[in-house]
Structure 1
Amino acid sequence: MKSEDSASRSSAQNQNQSPQAAVRSIEDWGVLLSRSLMSFEVELERPGAFQGYLRNRKVAGIEFIEMSTGKHLAHRGAESISSTDRPDYLLCLQIAGVGEFSQDNRTAVLQPGDLTLFDTTRPTTVVSSTDYRNLCMKFPQRLINLPPEQLGQLTATRTGARDGFAPAAGTLLITMNQLMDTSSGRSKILAAQGALDIITTMFQRQLDISTPSYPQATSPALLEQIRSYIDENLSDPGLGPRTIAAAHYISLRQLHGIFQAQGLTVASWVRHQRLQRCRRDLSDPALHAVSAASIGLRWGFKTASHFGMSFRKTFGLTPAEFRQEALSGSWGV
């Protein structure tokens, strides 16, 4: 975009303000999408005036993006996707107008209240109506503890405004968008995690993987017992598949089978739960005097370096960087 716009953007970021812009040309809209969302080629069906507005706020690696536009087409081709781009999902809530989202040879036509999902690593086409308003939640794929190949079944499929968890998910997106301006860093982090949990539950219901087929002599109740046991023993560095299996009088093979039925591994589940506890504690002002390394060791990581690498790989920040931004409430872009 023009140098004046670049300067104003830099100033806004330095002041930890939310990136937002209103544009009046389709060319500037394309630049704004690439800067704040991802790379798209955009075009108007008919030459003429265009108006678009976009606002993007981030908390704990999760972005909430609201936009309103005139009628146009946006296409993200394979040539626009880099292998170095962070793999994200976008959950989109239609607020007004009609949106058409195409990906993986499917097209979801959204009316107000409807939801759809798409994958930023896949080619995508979006067609917006004249009075289009949309709210998206953008989050790293690694934050959803569900198999990507299964979530891929949901891209560009319509979830109706009254279907299952859709009303709760839609309300959460709207509420989170409002909270971005009024809540502290820690409150926003906890609320964003809660929103992600609800959305994960919605995906599980849609994929029908909350009640998988378990091996003989196992049951959903056993899985819940195992998960509870893991939660109660996360601080034990020795917690692993063998100790978990022995505690429940099942074979190691049977334990792995139970988690594989959900598309997970035992080790990844334990690590995910430990990181969630660490993230919670790092954002707690009452624990500011406890070192980040001590928090990692408290939740079962064997070394501070292993904790630091795992945390950064998952959340994109070191534990110290995460804590500083969480406690200051200065989540920027």
Structure 2
Amino acid sequence: MEKVFDSNDFPARDALSAWAEATADAVMPTSFKLIGTDIFRGWVTTMPLGAVQVSAMAYSSYLTRRTPRLIRASDPEILAFGVTSGSHVIEQNRNRAALRPSDLLLFESSRPFETYADGGCILIQFPRTLLPISPRHIDELICRPLPGDQGMGRLLTSFLTHLTEDSTSYTPHDAARLGTIGLDLVTATLAHFLERESGIPADSRQRVLYMRITSFIERHLGDTALTAGEIAAAHHISVRSLHRLFHQHGVTVRSWIRGQRLEHCRRDLADPLKRHVPIQAIAAGWGFPHPADFTRAFRTLHGITPSDYRNQAHHHGTQAGTPS
């Protein structure tokens, strides 16, 4: 994520106007009025993903409007779909939505809207023409709160949250691929709420199915009894179809599960807050009930034993935190 704006970089008297300018470029032009304060605090980061963009932002209380005049002056003709935190009330397309934290909301740049906002949001935005759903059906969901903590909504929310928290540097190829995945998830989520899943293009359905399955597996990594049959049954497909789906992504079901378990173990071993948790307990928690099997698998992958890896990680962390 690239920082676009931080109110700490501006004098207090200039922060709101700088915010308006930054969000006009990053999202769309709107007007702002502070509520209950004379000092604006907020920040915006963005991640371009080809024709798609993900933005994360936080802000103090304000009222924002996108007026017909602003639309005539500049309309990128985009849809924005986002998950909110804090308190938000938005009116657009003759609908009024009072959002709870974790609610998803779809809105567009080509119609006026008015929003009371206090908190933050993560947005994925894209040209309306890229969404393979008819405009008539899209209009049914404009400015209607949708649950982001269950089903397809949770999968989209997890994807957006992971992108904004991940410090990985992506190549242009990675970015384009992530943009495709994001648009697939938006399409599947909206089609789900419209009960029109059958209208999603076949390749998009396959990519979303893969993400649904890998998300399911990640939630059950600690289950040592997790099998391909159980995974397939939970997603109403055959075991053969499951293996074929993973083969299309260059991995087997078993190797993907094993890789994820080892990666979660590695993160926990390097976490200073878990330095006193026994290695055996960490391994068992991620699906390795036999210490010898875990040690062997970890050493094969990383060329070092789990205990040595933990010692090195904490030693380097201590050095990094020591004043020079």
Instruction: Please give the range of the TM-score, normalised by the shorter of the 2 chains.
Output: 0.5 to 0.7
Give SS of 1:154's match.
Answer: coil
Aligned to 1:50: 40
Give SS of 2:175's match.
Answer: helix
Q: Indicate if the aligned counterparts of 2:82 and 2:124 stay in contact, CA closer than 8 A.
A: yes
Q: Indicate if the aligned counterparts of 2:86 and 2:120 stay in contact, CA closer than 8 A.
A: yes
Q: TM-score, normalised by structure 2?
A: 0.56
Deviation at 1:145, TM superposition (A): 0.9
Aligned to 1:20: 4
Matched, 1:71 2:71: no
Aligned to 1:93: 83
Q: Tell me the matched-pair count.
A: 198
Distance in 2 between residues matched to 1:210 and 1:68, nearest whole Å:
33
Runs of 4 or more above 4 Å deviation: none
Give SS of 2:147's match.
Answer: coil
Distance in 1 between residues matched to 2:67 and 2:190, nearest whole Å:
26
Give SS of 1:102's match.
Answer: strand
The correspondence of residues 179-258 of structure 1 with structure 2, limited to 5 A, is: 179=166, 181-211=168-198
Distance in 1 between residues matched to 2:104 and 2:197, nearest whole Å:
20
Deviates more, 1:52-61 or 1:41-50: 41-50
Higher relative contact order, chain-length normalized (CA < 8 Å, sep 6+): 1
2:23 to 33, 37, 42: 33
- Provide the aligned C-alpha RMSD in A: 2.6
Give SS of 2:89's match.
Answer: strand
Unpaired runs of 5+ residues, structure 1, are 1-16, 213-219, 229-333
Aligned to 2:164: 177
Q: Deviations over 1:168-222 (max 9, x none)?
A: 010011123345742222122212211211210111111122358xxxxxxx9xx
Distance in 2 between residues matched to 1:75 and 1:30, nearest whole Å:
11
Q: Deviations over 1:265-318 (max 9, x none)?
A: xxxxxxxxxxxxxxxxxxxxxxxxxxxxxxxxxxxxxxxxxxxxxxxxxxxxxx
Unpaired runs of 5+ residues, structure 2, are 207-324
Q: Deviations over 1:96-145 (max 9, x none)?
A: 3112222112122222221100011111112112xx02110111111111
The structure whose residues are more often helix, as a share, is 2
Q: Indicate if the aligned counterparts of 1:102 and 1:156 stay in contact, CA closer than 8 A.
A: yes
Matched, 1:143 2:130: yes
Q: TM-score, normalised by structure 1?
A: 0.54
Distance in 2 between residues matched to 1:117 and 1:19, nearest whole Å:
24
Partner amino acid, structure 2, of 1:175 = H
Give SS of 1:71's match.
Answer: strand
Aligned to 2:71: 81
Identity across the alignment (%): 17
Give SS of 1:198's match.
Answer: helix
